[in-house]
């Protein structure tokens, strides 16, 4: 399947996802174009994590189709690995490898997946540690880093694979307030460099300043998807309005 | 000192103990990893097999396991051999192998439980992170799960290694000339049981001391990434 410039880089078509009898995603449709920044918000349990985890197949969907960079996500292991090495993911809990140093965390995938030599991998790793402004922490272990530093290492680790797309699942929710901005700054820089991003977050300031599209999910459905200006000024659905009034009030 | 005349024999006995130790250690780690993988898998048959394995080998006296495996295998082999050649009287697995194998099954059963618990202690988020980077599941196992699990398993596994060394003393009953066997022979010749058994005990104590020290070093190494944590 040929991928042209006009085709979306991510396309979800009528995606369903079940956990047992419980339907976590209901006919979800989403198109993301190259370079677009999408912010996803919605109440707890609405399926935000499930949706982005389906995009790199940490969860498998039960209905509909998901195409990433022209590759259909199905049971083909080759497709899954191809997609995963193009899609970086950042988790709420950082999920760094505790037994490896910061630079060791960054070097692992380039070495194992891209077959880089140790020296090459280290060079790549140092380049990305500089991009997230913590080259001096390279030889520390994750426990020796602050939450904000750990999350920046996690972002750099994903960037080392040179992904086309970055997925963020509440990257600042586990951080102390004073560390949130240092992570958001890195994400804004990344956005300005033209990275395609899908970001689950309730940082509405980030959504306003960076997002091209704001998506509101509730009960497994995408209720509303609009540019942030319209989304915040003029929400169409009652559920969106209720949600916005709740999170903007504190 | 009467002991001096027996030093040669004790040294050979120690070598036999070392051989059994390393053979059984390699096998026990293998059974332990396979057993833990089976217990953690979603396959019911694999789970059941592993449970039967740990129940039998943790629940039967070790001496009996050794005797049953040695004589059980010998009877089987002998009857097979006699089927082809009725003249044959007795065929057995070399006692070194039978002994190591039996001991490895017992230690492997305990290691299964230790490894299973340690694998469960590994944060699944780190495994997801590895998979999301496109690292294959096999490589994730060796580079992400195993090193983290090892730290958690070490204290328990250190104890299993001590048991393993001590279990080698059982192997004398199937005629292997290890340390206890040597002490028995030396006693029957010199009629000095206390001295000879003391020598045997001291040799074992030497081995176990080295192991305890080694495990402590390994634990220190495995825990170095936690130093200075905040
Ligand atoms: N592995 C699972 N097994 C069973 N149910 C699950 C599983 N993962 C998620 N769910 C359910 O699916 C629904 C959506 O979960 P999801 O994690 O996607 O929500 P979310 O929008 O990310 O919420 P939060 O804001 O709390 O992170 C929830 O009701 C959750 O309980
Ligand atoms: Mg979530």
- pLDDT tens-place string over residues A118-162: 999 999 999 999 999 999 999 999 999 999 999 999 999 999 999
pLDDT at B175: 83
CATH class of this structure's domain B2-224: mainly alpha
User: Any idea how long chain A is?
Assistant: 250
Task: Please give the distance of CA B194 from its chain centroid, rounded to a whole number.
Answer: 29
A201-242 confidence digits (pLDDT tens): 999 999 999 999 999 999 999 999 999 999 999 999 999 999
pLDDT band at A4 (very low <50, low <70, confident <90, very high): low
**What residue's CA is closest to ligand 1, atom 27?**
A44
Place of tokens 């176990």: B208
**Secondary element (H or E) of residue B58:** helix B44-59
Nearest Cα residue to B170 out of B76, B65, B92 = B65
Any alpha helices (H) in B41-121, and if so which ranges?
44-59, 62-84, 95-120
Nearest Cα residue to B178 out of B70, B20, B7 = B20
Q: How many CB atoms lie within 10 A of CB B225?
A: 22
- List CB contacts (< 8 A) between B226 and chain A: 98, 141, 143
Task: Please give the distance of CA A31 from its chain centroid, rounded to a whole number.
Answer: 15
B226 Cβ under 8 Å from any chain A Cβ:
yes
Q: What is the Cα Rg of chain A in Å?
A: 18
Place of tokens 């396991």: B65
Q: State if residue A49 touches ligand 1 by the CB under 6 angstroms criterion.
A: yes
pLDDT band at B121 (very low <50, low <70, confident <90, very high): very high
**Secondary element (H or E) of residue A19:** strand A10-19
Q: State if residue A46 touches ligand 1 by the CB under 6 angstroms criterion.
A: yes
**What residue's CA is closest to ligand 1, atom 17?**
A49
| Measured CA angle at A151 (ends B126, B135), to 5 deg | 35
Q: Which pTM does this prediction carry? A: 0.88
């Amino acid at each position: 399947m040929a991928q042209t410039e006009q085709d979306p880089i991510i396309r979800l078509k009528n995606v369903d996802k079940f956990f047992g009898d419980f339907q976590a995603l209901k006919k979800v449709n989403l198109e993301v174009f190259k370079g677009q920044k999408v912010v996803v918000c919605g109440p707890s349990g609405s399926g935000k994590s499930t949706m982005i985890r389906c995009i790199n197949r940490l969860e498998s969907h039960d209905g509909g189709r998901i195409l990433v960079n022209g590759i259909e996500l199905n049971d083909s292991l080759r497709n899954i690995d191809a997609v995963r090495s193009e899609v970086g993911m950042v988790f709420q809990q950082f999920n760094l490898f505790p037994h490896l140093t910061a630079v060791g965390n960054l070097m692992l995938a380039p070495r194992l997946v891209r077959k880089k030599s140790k020296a090459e991998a280290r060079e790549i790793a140092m380049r990305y540690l500089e991009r997230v402004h913590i080259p001096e922490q390279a030889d520390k272990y994750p426990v020796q880093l602050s939450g904000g530093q750990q999350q920046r290492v996690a972002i750099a680790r994903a960037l080392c694979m040179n992904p086309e797309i970055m997925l963020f699942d509440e990257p600042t929710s586990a951080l102390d307030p004073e560390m949130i901005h240092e992570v958001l700054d890195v994400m804004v820089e990344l956005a300005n460099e033209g990275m395609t991003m899908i970001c689950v977050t309730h940082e509405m300031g980030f959504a306003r300043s960076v997002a091209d599209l704001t998506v509101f999910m509730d009960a497994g459905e995408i209720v509303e998807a609009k540019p942030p200006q319209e989304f915040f000024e003029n929400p169409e659905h009652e559920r969106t309005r209720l949600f916005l009034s709740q999170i903007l009030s504190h | 000192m009467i002991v001096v005349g027996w030093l040669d024999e004790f040294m050979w006995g120690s070598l036999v103990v070392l051989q059994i130790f390393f053979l059984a250690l390699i096998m026990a780690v293998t059974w332990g990893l396979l057993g833990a993988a089976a217990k953690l898998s979603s396959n019911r048959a694999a789970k059941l097999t592993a449970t039967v394995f740990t129940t039998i080998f943790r629940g039967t006296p070790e001496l009996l396991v050794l005797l049953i495996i040695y004589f059980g295998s010998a009877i089987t082999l002998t009857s097979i051999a006699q089927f082809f050649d009725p003249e044959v009287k007795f065929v057995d697995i070399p006692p070194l192998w039978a002994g190591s194998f039996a001991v490895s099954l017992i230690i492997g059963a305990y290691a299964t439980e230790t490894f299973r618990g340690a694998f469960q202690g590994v944060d699944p988020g780190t495994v997801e992170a590895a998979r999301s980077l496109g690292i294959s599941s096999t490589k994730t196992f060796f580079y992400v799960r195993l090193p983290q699990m090892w730290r958690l398993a070490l204290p328990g596994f250190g104890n299993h290694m001590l048991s393993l060394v001590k279990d080698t003393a059982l192997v004398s009953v199937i005629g292997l000339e290890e340390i206890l066997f040597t002490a028995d022979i030396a006693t029957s010749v010199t009629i000095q049981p206390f001295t000879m058994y003391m020598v045997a005990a001291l040799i074992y104590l030497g081995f176990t001391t080295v192991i305890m020290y080694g495990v402590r070093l390994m634990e220190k190494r495995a825990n170095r990434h936690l130093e200075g944590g905040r």
